[in-house]
């Protein structure tokens, strides 16, 4: 693997376009090994999304946008000005990579709409510019989400987060961890308690690495430790990201988020969801309509590559759950904050009006 300044392992380098290729920081290997996977084709990109080389809803969307560029380049080389007829199967291959994060479908749809009026022989430069816009807009959205979310935190407090909704999971800066970054810079975060997030360990492998790289105090805990921590009274907020928010404000996120929201309500801890508007899916009425990805049982039966469960044991592995809107205190987007979300407030936000 070539190394250049662009290809230095850094939380903001989850997705990089460099030297005519898509590079993905291999999140399966972090933090022990920092390596990039080079995607030369749309097939490579789709496989990398399925295999969790790149993960986190916005990062998946950004990677998919670059995947469309790779698809167009190959179709133009093969089929000249018939590229458009052939590319649809590539878009469908990308869309099949993972089912839950709406940002994947959002990014593909945006690239599809952008390519529709392109009539010139080589659409690649224009498509690359659009993919770079999607990437830059996601970073800017997260910075704004960071400011707005931090403003909700009234006084210095410890917070709990789940999974990784950081720079690694986005075009940069992070959603939930973007709020943490901004709030920490403002002196409002005393410590982040990161759930380890079985079975992929995004909390212990990714969130701990990302926050330590940024000098933000972080303590890992087993997923089951959140209740006793909250009972102690030190936690002011739970701050998480989202893979898809339904039209009624129900929030789909990493499995275990729903339980945290119930605990938060029980202990009077505030529950914040930080996500760009590209995560809101008005086509699903409620969380019950969101497809929940089920991954291989083997991911639960083993830990760190070592089988722990008895050979014949069965396991279920839904990797996301849905938190009802009624348990959410605030959804923070780049367009503004919705407190106590419901269908009307979500609709107003998407039409361009907002509480703040």
Instruction: Answer whether 160's CB lies under 8 Å from 230's CB.
Output: yes
Size of interface with ligand MRU, in residues (CB under 6 A): 18
Residue 149 as a binder of ligand MRU (CB under 6 A): the answer is: no
Q: Cβ atoms within 10 A of the Cβ of 9, count?
A: 18
Q: Which stretch binds ligand MRU (CB under 6 A): 66-74, 109-117, 164-172, 261-269?
A: 164-172
- Name the residue nearer to ligand MRU (CB basis): 122 or 293: 293
What would the two tokens of residue 79 be? 């089929």
Euclidean distance between CA atoms 338 and 331, whole angstroms: 5
> Which stretch of DSSP H or E encloses residue 61?
helix 57-79
Residue 146 as a binder of ligand MRU (CB under 6 A): the answer is: no
- Name the residue nearer to ligand MRU (CB basis): 55 or 144: 55
Residue 263 as a binder of ligand MRU (CB under 6 A): the answer is: no
Residue 322 as a binder of ligand MRU (CB under 6 A): the answer is: no
- Residues in the annotated binding site: 55-57, 98, 202, 253-254
Q: Give least dist CB 303 to ligand MRU, A.
A: 17
Q: Give least dist CB 154 to ligand MRU, A.
A: 24
Euclidean distance between CA atoms 48 and 129, whole angstroms: 22
What 3-state DSSP class applies to 313?
A: coil
* One residue of 58, 123, 149, 199 binding ligand MRU per CB under 6 A: 58
Half-sphere exposure of 30 (CA within 13 A, CB side): 29
Euclidean distance between CA atoms 199 and 304, whole angstroms: 9
Residue 169 as a binder of ligand MRU (CB under 6 A): the answer is: yes
Residue 45 as a binder of ligand MRU (CB under 6 A): the answer is: no
Catalytic residue selected from 243, 281, 321, 329 = 243
Q: How far is CA 5 from the centre of its chain?
A: 25
Residue 57 as a binder of ligand MRU (CB under 6 A): the answer is: yes
E strands in 44-162: 157-161
Query: Which residues from 92-131 bind ligand MRU, rule CB under 6 A?
Result: 101
- Name the residue nearer to ligand MRU (CB basis): 176 or 235: 176
- Name the residue nearer to ligand MRU (CB basis): 128 or 176: 176
Does the annotation count 78 as an active-site position? no
- Name the residue nearer to ligand MRU (CB basis): 58 or 336: 58
Euclidean distance between CA atoms 106 and 102, whole angstroms: 6
* One residue of 253, 278, 323, 333 binding ligand MRU per CB under 6 A: 253
What would the two tokens of residue 236 be? 């002011």
Query: Which residues from 174-233 bind ligand MRU, rule CB under 6 A?
Result: 175, 200, 202
What would the two tokens of residue 47 be? 């496989």
Q: What is the dihedral of CA 164, 166, 169, 171, to 10 degrees?
A: 180
Q: Is the dihedral of CA 326, 329, 334, 335 positive or negative?
A: positive
- Name the residue nearer to ligand MRU (CB basis): 170 or 204: 170
Q: Which stretch binds ligand MRU (CB under 6 A): 112-120, 165-173, 209-217, 223-231?
A: 165-173
Q: Tell which residue, 5, 3, 13, 110, has the closest CA to residue 59.
A: 13
Those residues whose C-beta lies under 8 Å from the C-beta of residue 134, and which sit 6 or more positions away, are: 61, 62, 65, 107, 110, 111, 171
- Interface with ligand MRU (CB under 6 A): 55-58, 101, 163, 165, 169-170, 175, 200, 202, 241-243, 253-254, 319
* Residues recognised as catalytic: 243
């Amino acid at each position: 693997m070539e190394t250049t300044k662009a290809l230095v392992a850094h939380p903001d380098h989850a997705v990089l376009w460099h030297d005519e290729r898509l590079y993905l920081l291999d999140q399966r290997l972090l933090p022990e090994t920092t390596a990039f996977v080079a995607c030369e084709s749309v097939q490579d990109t789709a496989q990398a999304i399925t295999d969790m080389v790149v993960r986190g809803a916005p990062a998946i969307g950004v990677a998919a946008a670059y995947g469309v560029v790779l698809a167009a380049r190959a179709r133009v080389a093969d089929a000249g000005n018939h590229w458009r007829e052939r590319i649809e199967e590539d878009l469908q291959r990308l869309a099949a990579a993972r089912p839950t994060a709406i940002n994947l479908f959002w990014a593909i749809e945006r690239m599809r709409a952008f390519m529709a009026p392109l009539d010139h022989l080589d659409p690649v430069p224009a498509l690359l510019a659009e993919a770079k816009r999607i990437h830059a807009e996601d970073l800017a959205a997260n910075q704004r989400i960071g400011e707005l979310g931090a403003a909700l935190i009234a006084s210095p407090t410890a917070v709990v987060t789940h999974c990784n909704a950081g720079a690694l999971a986005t075009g940069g800066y992070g959603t939930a961890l973007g709020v943490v970054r901004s709030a920490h810079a403002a002196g409002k975060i005393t410590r982040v308690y990161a759930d380890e997030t079985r079975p992929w360990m995004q909390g212990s492998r990714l969130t701990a690495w990302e926050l330590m790289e940024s000098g933000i105090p972080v303590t890992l805990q087993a997923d089951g430790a959140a209740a006793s921590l909250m009972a102690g009274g030190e936690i002011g907020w739970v701050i998480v990201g989202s893979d898809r928010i339904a039209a009624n404000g129900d929030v789909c996120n990493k499995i275990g988020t729903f339980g945290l929201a119930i605990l938060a309500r029980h202990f009077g801890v505030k529950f914040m969801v930080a996500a760009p508007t590209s995560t809101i899916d008005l086509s699903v009425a409620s969380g019950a309509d969101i497809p929940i990805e089920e991954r291989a049982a083997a991911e639960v039966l083993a830990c760190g590559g070592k089988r722990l469960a008895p050979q014949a044991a069965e396991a279920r592995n839904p990797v996301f759950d849905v938190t009802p809107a009624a348990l959410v205190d605030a959804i923070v987007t780049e367009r503004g904050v919705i407190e106590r979300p419901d269908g009307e407030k979500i609709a107003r936000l998407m039409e361009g009006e907002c509480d703040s």
